Amino acid sequence: MDTIIEFQNLEWKYENTKEFALKGINLKIQEHSFVGVVGANEQGKTSLLSAICGLIPHSFNGIYRGQVLLFGKPVREMDSLELATKVGLVFSDPEAQFTAMTVEEELAFGLENIGYSLSEIKERLEWAAQITMIEDLLDKSPYDISGGQKQRVAIACVLAMNPPIIMMDEPTSMIDPLGKRLIFDILRKLKEGKKHTLIVAEHNIEQLAPLADEMILMSDGQIVRHEPTLEFLTNPLYLREQGILPPECTEYAQWLKNEGYLSPDTRLPLELEQAAALVMPLFEKKVVK
């Protein structure tokens, strides 16, 4: 598979802070992979995403050393239009990312910026609205819909542009359980469509882990771990120290392995169904179903 994003020793400091937000990042991301980014707040997750979509260095002032390549071309040399066709970013606060008066306008906005034909806009818009389940919201004001709906609209806005790379920065942190589920549903659809590279920063590892192929742990402006998700979750204690709550099922299964209830070479479960399949036989005949 091809590397489509490459960080070469990137350092970045915002003009109004003392410390560097990114301290020498080296990273390669393969096409069509799903990468989860975790870590406590203020450790560099958002900066990492911003450096990929070009908000860093184009929209912020600061010190920028090293470089980031998108499809082999430095982000620094691309303008907002070129970047918008390559990479889309969904922010965590759904409230703040709208600028238009209706949802449909909001979706069309980016497409109009690119200059697509009317029929192409219609087609893309309907496609994005369908995946994100917002067809019945199109003529509403983005101001009058619920937080979860707003976030789906924000995702639809990015999808409509159909960039090969889609990133989300804590997309579910401000919304209710149903809204969270719907967003992870969308991510699952996108992953199974195998047309996009997905990068998602989240605190909600329980829902992220089953989807992510690999995980990145950010701490103090650096990538401290970058591994396939399974390996990443094998050390729940270490993760807790880093401020990460591993999925409860994974943590429990790891304990079962440590205690010898499960064989040491058991593959850790990442979600409920996998865990149930693994654990239920242990309790067979021991408990009343």
Partner 1 sequence: MKPLITVENLDFTYPDGTPALLGINLEIGEQEFIAFIGQNGSGKTTLSKCINGLFKPTAGKVIVEGIDTSRRGVIKQLVTKVGYVFQNPDHQLFNRSVKSEIAYGPRNINLPEEEVERRVREAAQVAGVSEDLFETHPYFLPKGLRQRVAIASILALKPRTIIVDEPTTGQDMQQSLEVMNFLRALWKEEGHTIIIITHEMRIVADYAERTVVLGQGQILLDAPTRQVFSQPEILQQTYVEPPQITRLAQKISKEEPFRSVLTVEELKGLTKEVLS
Partner 2 sequence: MTEITASTPLTTLPTRKATARKTLLGQVPLDSPFYAFHPVTRLILFVFLGVIPLFIFIPEINFILLLVNLILLRWGKVDLRRLRIYMPIIFTVAIFMFTVVILAPGKDPSYTPLTVLGITIYYQPFFFTFASYWRLIAMLFGTILYFSTNHERDMLVGLRTLRMPFVVSYVISLSIRAAGMFMEDFRIIREAEQARGLDTKAMRFSDQAKLYVMYLVPLFSIALRRADEISNALFARGYTLTGRVGTGGKRSDYIRSRYVMRGRDWVAIFILVTIFAAVAIAQIFFGVFALTHSPLNIYLRTILNIPN
**What is the side-by-side order of every strand in the sheet holding 197-201?**
87-90, 165-169, 197-201, 34-38, 214-219, 222-228
- Helix, strand and coil content of the chain, in percent to the nearest 5, comes to 45, 20, 35
Closest CA to 158 of 192, 212, 199: 199
Query: What letter represents residue 196's amino acid?
Result: H
Nearer to partner 2, 129 or 239 (CB): 129
Closest CA to 178 of 202, 201, 207: 207
Residue tagged 């980031």 (tokens): 68
* Chain positions contacting partner 2, by CB under 8 A: 53-55, 58-59, 79-85, 88-89, 91, 93, 95-102, 104-105, 108-118, 121-125, 127, 131, 133, 136, 139-141, 143-144, 157-158, 161-162, 178, 181-182, 185, 188-190, 192-193, 195
Q: Is there binding between residue 206 and partner 1 (CB under 8 A)?
A: yes
DSSP states of 64-78 as a string?
Answer: EEEEEEETTEEGGG-
Q: Is there binding between residue 69 and partner 1 (CB under 8 A)?
A: no
What would the x/- binding string for partner 1 be over residues 121 to 160, using CB under 8 A? Answer: -------------------------xxx------------
- 88 touches which of partner 1, partner 2, none (CB within 5 to 8 A by kind)? partner 2
Distance between CA atoms of residues 253 and 281, nearest Å: 13
Distance between CA atoms of residues 152 and 172, nearest Å: 10
Quick one: tokens of 59?
């929209």
Nearer to partner 2, 45 or 225 (CB): 45
**Interacting residues with partner 1 between 221 and 240 (CB under 8 A):** 240
Of the candidate residues 40, 55, 69, 230, the single one contacting partner 1 (CB under 8 A): 40
Of the candidate residues 6, 14, 251, 257, the single one contacting partner 1 (CB under 8 A): 251
Q: How far is the CB of 146 from partner 2 (least distance, A)?
A: 12
Q: How far is CA 212 from CA 35, 185, 240, 257, 269, in A?
A: 5, 13, 19, 23, 13
- Judged on CB neighbours under 10 Å (0-12, 13-18, 19+), 191 is middle
- 146 touches which of partner 1, partner 2, none (CB within 5 to 8 A by kind)? partner 1
Q: Is there binding between residue 115 and partner 1 (CB under 8 A)?
A: no
What size, in residues, is the chain? 289
Q: How far is the CB of 271 from partner 1 (least distance, A)?
A: 8
Distance between CA atoms of residues 49 and 19, nearest Å: 18
Q: How far is the CB of 151 from partner 1 (least distance, A)?
A: 11
Q: How far is the CB of 187 from partner 2 (least distance, A)?
A: 10
Quick one: tokens of 261?
């209830």
Query: Which residue stretch of 25-33, 57-65, 81-89, 242-250 sits at the interface with partner 1 (rule: CB under 8 A)?
Result: 242-250
Distance between CA atoms of residues 256 and 202, nearest Å: 27
Residues near partner 1 (CB under 8 A): 39-41, 92, 146-148, 170, 173-181, 203, 206, 240, 243-245, 247-249, 251-252, 255-256, 259, 261, 272, 275-276, 279-280, 282-283, 286-289
